[in-house]
Chains A and B, each alone.
Chain A
Amino acid sequence: MQKPALASDNENMDWLSALLDGEADDDLEGIGRLARDEALKARWSEYCLIGDALRGLSQPSGRVPERVRVALSDEPTILAPVVKPRHRPALWLAAAATVAAVTWMTMHAEPTAAPPVRMAMQSGPAEVAALDVVPYLAAHQDYAQALTSSPEMHFSQVALALPEAAR
């Protein structure tokens, strides 16, 4: 088999040089090729040595001793299920679920005829426009205030603009 052209050879090594720096494009096949190709592995070794020498890491020993390679080659092959890194719980998933739940609740709790009731956002009184919910809110205002720390309970203070007839 003829040796590949110099341009393609350099192209291979160019990618290898970038891979060592963590600057290569996602190329799982390339990493596989690196693991199988002795020439690429030799070049990888040289690049590592160059970087370590520039950073003063060439001492006390330079190359990886052959006995280390032999010892590792005597180890049995590993066949283990790939364990993905434990990422933090997918916050986007939780957020999406919350939005979906709130949307569902809003759709099913939508009032039929009366105009929407504006709720106060934690501070300041707000007028309650819908007269039919006034008694309900009045009955539960204390409970709402007790839960001001809860992010769901935004109506901690609701000013009840009672109509004259209700007073």
Chain B
Amino acid sequence: MSDREIDRQLVERVQQGDKRAFDLLVEKYWRKLTRLLSRMVRDSGEVEDIAQETFIKAYRALPQFRGDAAFYTWLYRIGVNTAKNYLAAKSKAMPTVSEQAAPDEEGTEDRWAVQDIATPESELLSKQVAMAVNEAVEALPEELRTAITLREMEGLSYEEIAQMMNCPIGTVRSRIFRAREAIAAKLRPILGTAQDTRW
């Protein structure tokens, strides 16, 4: 089941009345969307407002979503238009954005040289999260560290990782899972998530 297929299945569940499935899409794309929007809007508070409005618009428009495009592509277009409308309403000048442009993160980031301005609290939390994740990855056994790095940072498939590490795909799956669990355990004190909330 591909990543796009998973998104499509979640969208279908929402269309059939399961709102909780939409939460999973929000969790998956919130940071990616806010990072994109932060290149268009300076204020982090406004970024969150626009992102929230984007997801709400997307939720309301889901009955019309046919799946011709990937969910994030569709969400990206809604986010860009929402940001433009938001800033136009506040009488701010905005560079035009092609609605047909693909959500290429690298190209999009170069288009607007807007510096992020985050609140001290959110910036501190983000740094703590990044530091904790990096420290946790460094503390992993080599095979786990290699597997999670190849997956998350290189975007390789399990099959590709298995070939590179010369091990079965099931072993790759297990190593990535164990790496995530180890990192999550280091994150919980920072996020304030107690272990018992797993159950």
A interface, CB within 8 angstroms of B = 3, 9-10, 13-14, 17-28, 31-32, 34-36, 39, 41-65, 67-69, 71-73, 75, 77-86
Contacts and interface: CB of A to CB of B under 8 A. Distances in A.
A73 B173 contact: no
Interface of B: 1-6, 8-10, 12-24, 26-28, 30-32, 34-35, 38, 44, 47-48, 51-52, 55-56, 59-60, 62-68, 116, 118, 122-123, 125-126, 129-130, 133, 137, 148-149, 151-153, 157-158, 173-174, 176-177, 180-181, 183-184, 187-188, 191, 193, 197-199
Nearest to B36: A57
B114 to A, nearest CB: 12
A97 B187 CA distance: 59
26 contacts: A17-B176, A17-B177, A22-B1, A22-B5, A41-B23, A46-B188, A47-B184, A48-B28, A52-B32, A54-B137, A57-B35, A58-B126, A60-B44, A62-B31, A63-B191, A68-B52, A68-B55, A72-B55, A72-B56, A78-B14, A78-B19, A78-B62, A78-B63, A79-B15, A81-B15, A83-B65
A50 B184 contact: yes
Q: Classify the interface of chain B: helix, strand, loop or mixed.
A: helix
B189 to A, nearest CB: 13
List of 5 A-B pairs having minimum Cβ-Cβ separation, nearest first:
A80-B63, A22-B3, A85-B67, A17-B177, A60-B118
Contact of A60 (B34, B59, B67, B174): B34
Contacts, number: 212
Given A68-B55, A82-B15, A13 B31 contact: no
Contacts of A55: 152-153
Contact of B197 (A34, A42, A82, A85): A42
A32 B118 contact: no
Given A51-B152, A80-B62, 10 more contacts: A18-B173, A22-B6, A24-B6, A46-B188, A46-B193, A59-B118, A65-B48, A71-B52, A75-B59, A83-B67
